[in-house]
Homo-oligomer: A and B are copies of this chain.
C-alpha cells in the first residue's frame, strides 16, 4: 500500500469511527439513555479528522458544542465520551459536561463552549502564551460560519494579527447557523474579510476529503508555527438537524438535493468496500465504549459541589 493509500485509510477509519459513533447515538437516543442535546457532526467528519491529523498532540484545540468529531479526531477516549453522554462517573467530566462540553486536555482538546464564538479568543490567548515561552506549540480554534458574526471574532482576528500569535482559525462552513443561511447573516466574504487584518487565508471546497483537509491544514500549520495566524475555511455539510438526531428537510428551510449532492462525494458513503471492511472492528470498539458507559456508576451528591473553583 502506498503511503498515500495508508494515509487515506487511516483518516477514513477515524472518520468512519466518528460516523458510526454518531449513528449509535442516534440509535440510543430514543431510549433516553443520553439526556443531553446533541449536535451531530455527521457529514462534517472529514474536517475534524483531516485537521487534527495535521496537528501535534501538544497543539491545543478549542472547540464548540458540535465537537464529537474533534474530540475523537484529537484522540479523546471513546469510552469516556460515551460515559459522559450517559452522564456517568466514568465520563470525561464525570457527567458535568455532557455532549456540549467535551474536552481532553491530555491530548490537547482544551474545551468546547456552547456559547457561539466564545472560544475563539481562548485560542489566541493560548497561542500568545506559547509564543512568549518560545514554544513551538500552536493553538487552533474551530468554529462554525455563524460564529464569525460575533464581535469577538473581529477582536480576536485583530489581536492575533497584531501580535503574530501562532493560532489557526479553522472555520467549518456548513452554510447554516441553526436554520439561517449564510447570505442572510453575512455581508462579507470570509477570506477577504480576514485578509483585511493581514491574515493569510485559504478556503477548501472539498470538505468531504479528509486527505485534502489534512494537506491544507499541514500547509496552514506550517505558516502558523513559523509565527503568524492563518484562517482556513473548509466547506462542509451538516446532514442532520442542527440539534438532535433527526432530519429536518421537511421543514423546508433547506433542500434535500443540496445534501444529496454532497453525499455523492462523501467517501463514507461512496467507498462501500472500505466501509464494509472496517465496520466490524469499529463497531466492536464502539460496543466496548457503550458497555463501559452502561456499567459506569451515576454521579451522586458527593460530586454536586466539587470542582467549583
Contact = CB atoms under 8 A, between A and B. Distances in A.
Contacts of A299: none
Given A151-B151, A153-B154, A189 B185 contact: no
A155 interface: yes
Contacts of A157: 187
A167 to B, nearest CB: 13
Contacts of A187: 157-158, 161-162, 197-199
A152 interface: yes
Interface in A110-156: 149-155
A259 to B, nearest CB: 25
A186 B161 CA distance: 9
A141 to B, nearest CB: 15
Contact of A196 (B152, B153, B188): B188
Contacts of A24: none
Contact of A155 (B151, B158, B196, B198): B151
Contact of A158 (B152, B162, B188, B199): B188
A150 B196 CA distance: 16
Q: How many copies of the chain does the oligomer comprise?
A: 2
A192 interface: yes
Interface string A186-210: 1111001101111100000000000
Interface in A184-241: 184-189, 192-193, 195-199
Interface string A162-183: 1000000000000000000000
Contacts of A154: 151, 153-154
A155 B149 CA distance: 6
Nearest to A190: B196
Closest 6 CB pairs of A and B: A151-B151, A154-B154, A161-B187, A193-B196, A187-B197, A162-B187
27 contacts: A149-B158, A150-B151, A150-B155, A151-B151, A151-B152, A151-B153, A151-B155, A153-B154, A158-B185, A158-B186, A158-B187, A158-B188, A161-B187, A161-B188, A162-B184, A162-B185, A162-B186, A162-B187, A187-B199, A188-B196, A188-B198, A189-B196, A192-B196, A193-B193, A193-B196, A193-B197, A195-B196
Given A162-B186, A192-B196, 17 more contacts: A149-B158, A150-B151, A151-B153, A151-B154, A151-B155, A157-B187, A161-B187, A161-B188, A162-B184, A162-B185, A188-B196, A188-B197, A188-B198, A193-B196, A193-B197, A195-B196, A196-B196
